[in-house]
Amino acid sequence: MLTSLDEETCKILGVKKIAEDDVQKIIDKEKGSIAAIKNASILVK
């Protein structure tokens, strides 16, 4: 997840924090369809 949350909060939520540079690398490697969710906070329970 590309986020401004701190590492400890991400660990508690069970999400992996990534940098902006890594997002482009992931997109470049993707073979199938992808989607961006502008407000991904709705995905975290």
Taking the C-alpha atoms of residue 18 and residue 22, their distance in angstroms, rounded to an integer, is 6
Q: Which residue has the tokens 């401004």?
A: 4
pLDDT at 45: 59
pLDDT at 8: 92
Report how far apart, in Å, the C-alpha atoms of 26 and of each of 7, 10, 21, 36, 42 are: 20, 19, 9, 12, 22
Domain boundaries, the chain: 7-43
pLDDT digits (tens, 9 = 90+) for 12-43: 988 888 888 888 898 899 888 888 777 766 66
Phi, psi of 40 (to 5 degrees): -70, -5
Radius of gyration of the chain (CA): 12
pLDDT at 38: 77
Q: What confidence tier does 44 reach under pLDDT thresholds 50, 70, 90?
A: low
